[in-house]
Structure 1
Amino acid sequence: MELTRRGTITAVAEALGYTPGGVSQQIAALEKATGMELLRRVGRRVELTDAGTTLACHAERILATEAEAVEALERSRNEVSGTLLIGLFATAAAEILPPALQRARRVHPGLTVRSRDMDVDEVYDAVAGGAVDLALGLDYPGVPIPRDPALRVVPLSRERFSLAVPAGSMAGRERVSLADTGELGWILPSAGSYYGRAVRTACRRAGVEPRVLHEVTDTAATLALVEAGVGVSTVTDLMLRLRTSCLDVVALREPLERNIVVVFRSFAERRPTVAALVEVLRTAADRRRDAPERLGL
């Protein structure tokens, strides 16, 4: 089924956490069990045979039936109970999950939540492939994540980016345009990442190509480099809380934003445990968003 969605053995292996050889062995075992050829080589690629396509369609039904059985078993209990595995990225692990877990223990004591740290761009595939039950991810309105009909993406909160600059380098400026950053050196993730693509796209819409001096994925390392005076980068309030830094933050004229989302498989939407944890995450996000207003900030 994953091969119909992703097209290559390598992509299937990455999504499911196998080696390419492991995927090939699984398919070979299926061919032996069915007595039919499921894959054929076309040039340097492989594609499903008619029998393989038929089996993939039935595999989808089988997995959906399994999900319905799990949902029915969960509903037969008198409380929300069970174990869920959630995938999350570094910022979510530090700022979003802890208060959510505290609330989950309080309102659903029978629910056990385990977590797995992963690259933020991998969480969608991890959910789609069943490696985790649900995940916290990021979506950028300017460069949205491709929507998979097999997944549900629920927004939790929206953050606006500002520009992090070395201390004193823009003294007296309360707001800056991306169009004014053409001569500055940038610290950004690679252009292949959704975040890196979103910032580059916003800069190009403003008529400037960012001069990227350092390609860095880790937020704390990025803030350290800005603090050292080697370049500028975009940041949100949530990102700034990962590391205490001596730098300046200047508002951007352009509305560069990101959404923090929770992702889960569509057929798991009615599972009591999944629905309960999604609601806990939404409540935690609402309280975090409202906190500055309660403090009068």
Structure 2
Amino acid sequence: MDWTSAQLRALVELTRRGTITAVAEALGYTPGGVSQQIAALEKATGMQLLRRVGRRVELTDAGATLALHAGRILTTEAEAVEALERTRNEISGTLRIGLFATAAAEILPPALRRIREVHPGVTVRSRDMDVDEVYDAVVGGSVDLALGLDYPDVPIPRDPSLRVRELFRERFSLAVPAGTMPGRWRVSLAAAGEHGWILPSVGSYYGRAVLTACRRAGFEPQVLHEVTDTAATLALVESGVGVSVVTDLMLRLRPSRLDVLELTETMERHIVVVFRSFAEDRPTVAALVDVLRACADRPPPGADDA
């Protein structure tokens, strides 16, 4: 049948995410664009693949059957790309990488400079996305690999089809409005127990990791401002409305007038690169992973080597 990979991927993502809007966010399309992909797929198959249930959509039996096979088709296609790359005398090709804000600002640029130097035939296309979505994006094939985060206190579930390579680790510190704790440079999390907090939603891995650490320190953080954006968090701390935890990479996103205090507890996050297991020997993927790991051997000031 005359269908495209983009159409099949839209259908597969719909089985993962449940709504047209969520699929659009995952694939970088508009909701109308996703609907057009599905409509074109229905025309190609001559069958109804979706039905509306109130404001939601669900797969028909035909849609569910095709989605199952579509996942296999997309995997086979990716394996074919890998096999073709291995027949070339030089490492060349296009890679799609997913990344979160800190990675986009601090980690990817030096890696891109290096990959151009050592493998000029490799083209890298990047997509900014929610850090909690990068694992699903790799599994679904919307990106070839991704830079992500993992938290020892709240480990992200490991899909057996993925490979996760740690690049380096960062310890968290406590960010407080300037002058809030004069004369102190090292404190326990419990010292901030009476302050208002600025944190992401507890539905995020980051939010749950901070909540777990605070509970272990003996208090429940009073979240006054639920914020995902790091730069906005730093701005709010600077304005004096609350405290938060930060890493050195996070601090580099926005110069801020605030106090950063070392924590007595070890609270950290791991910067990782994620790719599908069958792509481990794909030349372009292996080359970019090697470059990322080499750059991680020289992490930004304050980051601990993994």
Q: Deviations over 1:239-280 (max 9, x none)?
A: 122233332222223322111111223333321101110111
- In structure 1, which of residues 189, 196, 200 is the aligned counterpart of residue 207 of structure 2? 196
- In structure 1, which of residues 284, 288, 291 is the aligned counterpart of residue 299 of structure 2? 288
Answer yes or no: is 1:106 the counterpart of 2:117: yes
- The ranges of structure 1 where at least 4 consecutive aligned residues each deviate by more than 6 angstroms after the TM superposition are 41-44, 289-294
- CA positional deviation for 1:237: 1.4
What residue identity is the alignment partner of 1:162?
Answer: S
Answer yes or no: is 1:128 the counterpart of 2:139: yes
Name the count of aligned residue pairs. 294
1:263-274 to 2 correspondences below 5 Å? 263-274=274-285
Q: 1:225 to 1:33 in 2, by over 3 A?
A: closer
Maintained 8 Å contact 1:81/1:110: yes
Residue 253 of structure 2 is matched in structure 1 by 242
Q: Deviations over 1:68-118 (max 9, x none)?
A: 221122111111112223222222122211221222122212222232333
- In structure 2, which of residues 88, 91, 95 is the aligned counterpart of residue 84 of structure 1? 95
- For the residue of structure 2 that corresponds to 1:87, the secondary structure is strand
Q: What is the alpha-carbon distance in structure 1 between the residues aligned to residue 86 and residue 162 of structure 2?
A: 22
Maintained 8 Å contact 1:181/1:208: no
Q: 1:291 to 1:24 in 2, by over 3 A?
A: closer
Q: What is the alpha-carbon distance in structure 1 between the residues aligned to residue 303 and residue 27 of structure 2?
A: 40
Maintained 8 Å contact 1:156/1:261: yes
Q: What is the alpha-carbon distance in structure 2 between the residues aligned to residue 109 and residue 78 of structure 1?
A: 13
1:43-58 to 2 correspondences below 5 Å? 47-58=58-69
**Which runs of 5 or more residues in structure 1 are unaligned?**
none
Residue 143 of structure 1 is matched in structure 2 by 154
- For the residue of structure 2 that corresponds to 1:288, the secondary structure is coil
Q: What is the alpha-carbon distance in structure 1 between the residues aligned to residue 207 and residue 20 of structure 2?
A: 27
Maintained 8 Å contact 2:170/2:304: no
- CA positional deviation for 1:155: 1.6
Q: What is the alpha-carbon distance in structure 1 between the residues aligned to residue 287 and residue 274 of structure 2?
A: 14
Maintained 8 Å contact 2:100/2:147: yes
Q: 1:175 to 1:80 in 2, by over 3 A?
A: same
- CA positional deviation for 1:39: 4.4
Q: 1:291 to 1:240 in 2, by over 3 A?
A: closer
Normalised TM-score (structure 2) = 0.83
What residue identity is the alignment partner of 2:114?
Answer: R
Q: 1:293 to 1:206 in 2, by over 3 A?
A: closer
- For the residue of structure 2 that corresponds to 1:96, the secondary structure is helix
Deviates more, 1:175-184 or 1:66-75: 175-184
- In structure 2, which of residues 194, 197, 217 is the aligned counterpart of residue 206 of structure 1? 217
Normalised TM-score (structure 1) = 0.85
Answer yes or no: is 1:171 the counterpart of 2:151: no
- CA positional deviation for 1:53: 3.4
Answer yes or no: is 1:185 the counterpart of 2:185: no
Answer yes or no: is 1:2 the counterpart of 2:13: yes
Q: What is the alpha-carbon distance in structure 2 between the residues aligned to residue 257 and residue 267 of structure 1?
A: 30
Q: What is the alpha-carbon distance in structure 1 between the residues aligned to residue 14 and residue 115 of structure 2?
A: 36
Residue 227 of structure 2 is matched in structure 1 by 216
Deviates more, 1:61-70 or 1:220-229: 220-229
Q: 1:94 to 1:34 in 2, by over 3 A?
A: closer
Answer yes or no: is 1:73 the counterpart of 2:81: no
Residue 160 of structure 1 is matched in structure 2 by 171
Q: What is the alpha-carbon distance in structure 1 between the residues aligned to residue 156 and residue 71 of structure 2?
A: 23
* Identical amino acids, percent of aligned pairs: 83
Q: What is the alpha-carbon distance in structure 2 between the residues aligned to residue 204 and residue 221 of structure 1?
A: 25
